[in-house]
Amino acid sequence: MIPELGHFALILALMLAVLLAVVPMAGVVRRDLTLQHSAGALSAGLFVFLLLSYACLTQAFLQDDFSVAYVANNSNALLPWYYKVSAVWGAHEGSFLLWTLIMGGWTLAVALRSEALPTAMLARVLSVMGALTVGFILFLLMTSNPFERVLPVAAAEGADLNPQLQDFGLIVHPPMLYTGYVGFSVAFAFAIAALLSGRLDAAWARWSRPWTNLAWAFLSVGIALGSWWAYYELGWGGWWFWDAVENASFMPWLVGTALIHSLAVTEKRGVFKSWTVLLAIAAFSLSLLGAFIVRSGVLTSVHAFAVDPERGMFILVFLLLVVGSALVLYALRAPVMRAEARYEGLSREVMLLANNIVLVVSTAAVLLGTLYPLVYESLTGGGKISVGPPYFNAVFVPLMVLLLLIMAPAPLARWKRTGAAQLMRSLSKVALASVALGLVLPLVVTGALELWPVLSVMLGAWITLALLVDALERVRNKQGLPAKLRGLKTLGAGYGGMVLAHLGVAVTALGIALTTTYSTERDVRLAPGDSVTLGPRTYLFEGVAPLEGPNYVADQGTVRVFQNGQPIAVLHPEKRRYLARQMVMTEADIDPGFFRDLYVALGEPLGEGAWALRVHDKPFVRWVWFGGVLMMFGGLMAAFDRRYRRLKLRDQAALAGALAS
């Protein structure tokens, strides 16, 4: 009964989405305010029914209703309750229902938080989001119904959730990632609404900015969580594989980053309008492309869901409709770029333009690498090839170095024009200090100079010190420390968010460079009582004991770690056999630290109590994800800058004045 209720709620949600797509837009065309105002109520109704539908599916998991095919395939009575709740998004159908629910959430959020928006504009935005939701729900109902029953014979036991997914990572990674992906639909909807109305102005950019920051913040932390999860769950210490699906999430992030900066220029200087609109369309289009790649099985990947050509074809047609019509609208309505303003060589807008070019070229490089096997195949009619991490690293790393170079001067540069002399004065000391730090720090700590650590410390210092110099210059006129701190506070959340996010990028870049260079690992055969030394630490293997989990049995090893003769950690790597699927999983155990991770994975038993063990020493690996967390807080902080609300009220007053006169 409950699954049918969920199915029915989903159908009702489809009706409401159709109404939302049609009625407010018709209201705009017919200048009917009542119809326009219906957008808010329709958004709320849509969200409520999506939530109801989603709750029904969750309930089916909690009740172990194995007559529902999706539950039977992805759950098991022995599964702990929190994995039952997250198993809802453990495979294709349920995860897309979550995606659709999140879409409903963003729609409702826009409806609730946009009281200052002109009614017609809000009606257009919500209609566009409604139209997208129609596509999503149709996709669910037509190709991926999670409520389908396997009556009359229900399975007695579920097939269980894929053991690789039975982890905290599943609980947090997909919801964050999807919130980011789908969040770009708001910027997309604003762009389409602006193109439709012809109002591509500073106000439009200002409305889009907080939403874009928010989506970007979620996507940043979603990607970081995914990388962290892969690191500890896949069991061989890697944290990024240039896998097609990782790339699918990374491309919207790159374009979203470009969009954030381009929106700033459009708001402040009124230029780059067409370019900004195009980026807003591209960011969401790449999210949809990601969904296509993941769910069509067109590229093989560790994340790939069950292959189904029908689903792939649906998404492809949807992609064609959504992106195609958006780009047609763009071609017809975007303002033809004129020399709207003169660009001075060292102005902030020129630096942000450079940022945009680097980010878009990087996206193109990733896109090319991801789709190259397909492109090649189309051109040759069946010749199949593979592109591996070597391509991505060779192309991507130099581009990122360039981006990090630009990141330091851009916040210091002023709009319109910046005195070259002034910029030089501020930055020459920073440059000197960065080069010195880059040479001295690695040399002192490791006694050797290697390219990537030196370069990354230089670039990290370059960005960090430039931010510091900039902040100090902004409070130069304040006397005394308390006054200076108060002065910093008045710079606003937007500025603080920028600083945090930029620091996050520097931290991630440092983490990547340092952990890649300095990580060491050893594979050894250890009998109980044997030990292995890696770097300054000794790992003593004490043997393996059986362990019984809720839905698995395991061999649990005990490894004591000593440094300078002192015990510093006890690690318990496991080899688990999951009962329902008879799958063996390696659960590495990690002693995490700010400056290093100690990582031990259990391999195969080698007889007589001896086991194959892999021991990793991974310096700075946490920085890779810590930077992502900083970026998230930066994005959130910027999104909630009070400036947006203040300016919204000003826009509203201006509009009211215009209507009154």
Residues of the shown chain interacting with another protein in the complex, contacts defined by CB under 8 A? 164, 230, 234-236, 241, 243, 274, 278, 281-282, 285, 292, 296-302, 304, 307, 309, 312-313, 316, 319-320, 323-324, 327-328, 330-332, 334, 336-338, 371, 373-375, 377-378, 381-386, 388-389, 523, 582-584, 586, 601, 603-604, 612, 614
In angstroms, the CA 364 to CA 358 distance is: 10
Report, in Å, the least distance between residue 254 CB and another protein. Answer: 16
* 302 vs 440 by CB, closer to another protein: 302
* 217 vs 263 by CB, closer to another protein: 263
* 289 vs 358 by CB, closer to another protein: 289
Report, in Å, the least distance between residue 377 CB and another protein. Answer: 6
Report, in Å, the least distance between residue 295 CB and another protein. Answer: 12
* Contact (CB, 8 A) for 117 and 40: no
Cβ-based neighbour number of residue 331 at 10 Å: 8
- Strand, helix or coil at 532? strand
Cβ-based neighbour number of residue 463 at 10 Å: 27
Which of 88, 87, 114 lies closest to 101, judged by CA? 88
What are the structure tokens assigned to 86, written together? 């997250």
User: Crossing angle for the helix pair 33-62 and 119-143, nearest 10 degrees?
Assistant: 30
Report, in Å, the least distance between residue 604 CB and another protein. Answer: 6
Report, in Å, the least distance between residue 379 CB and another protein. Answer: 9
* 22 vs 329 by CB, closer to another protein: 329
Cis? peptide before 482, omega within 30° of 0: no
Report, in Å, the least distance between residue 438 CB and another protein. Answer: 30
Place of tokens 């579920």: 158
* 503 vs 615 by CB, closer to another protein: 615
Phi-psi category of 119—alpha, beta or left, where left has phi over 0 and alpha has psi -120 to 50?
Answer: alpha
In angstroms, the CA 210 to CA 216 distance is: 10
In angstroms, the CA 634 to CA 218 distance is: 11
Give the rounded distance of the alpha carbon of 256 from its chain centre. Answer: 10
* 63 vs 301 by CB, closer to another protein: 301
* 260 vs 322 by CB, closer to another protein: 322
Which of 24, 12, 13, 280 lies closest to 127, judged by CA? 24
Distances, alpha carbon 357 to alpha carbons 199, 262, 275, 340, in Å: 25, 11, 11, 19
* 115 vs 523 by CB, closer to another protein: 523
Report, in Å, the least distance between residue 482 CB and another protein. Answer: 52
Distances, alpha carbon 182 to alpha carbons 50, 80, 185, 280, 410, in Å: 15, 29, 5, 12, 29
Report, in Å, the least distance between residue 279 CB and another protein. Answer: 10
Report, in Å, the least distance between residue 617 CB and another protein. Answer: 16
* 306 vs 472 by CB, closer to another protein: 306
* 323 vs 454 by CB, closer to another protein: 323
What are the structure tokens assigned to 344, written together? 């001075």
In sequence order, the 6+-apart residues with CB closer than 8 A to the CB of 380 are none
* 466 vs 544 by CB, closer to another protein: 544
* Contact (CB, 8 A) for 180 and 216: yes
In angstroms, the CA 323 to CA 331 distance is: 12
* 301 vs 558 by CB, closer to another protein: 301
- Strand, helix or coil at 571? strand
| β-sheet bridge partners, residue 596 | 619
Count H helices and E strands in the chain, helices first: 20, 10
* Contact (CB, 8 A) for 141 and 133: no
Report, in Å, the least distance between residue 653 CB and another protein. Answer: 34
In angstroms, the CA 71 to CA 83 distance is: 12
What are the structure tokens assigned to 73, written together? 């395939």
* 378 vs 490 by CB, closer to another protein: 378
* 386 vs 479 by CB, closer to another protein: 386
* 299 vs 465 by CB, closer to another protein: 299
In angstroms, the CA 562 to CA 513 distance is: 27
Report, in Å, the least distance between residue 563 CB and another protein. Answer: 25
DSSP assignment of 277-327 equals: HHHHHHHHHHHHHHHHHHHH-SS--TT-----HHHHHHHHHHHHHHHHHHH
In angstroms, the CA 651 to CA 133 distance is: 29
Cβ-based neighbour number of residue 483 at 10 Å: 12
| β-sheet bridge partners, residue 619 | 596
Report, in Å, the least distance between residue 123 CB and another protein. Answer: 26
- Strand, helix or coil at 591? strand
Report, in Å, the least distance between residue 235 CB and another protein. Answer: 8
Report, in Å, the least distance between residue 304 CB and another protein. Answer: 7
What are the structure tokens assigned to 549, written together? 């989990």
Report, in Å, the least distance between residue 331 CB and another protein. Answer: 4
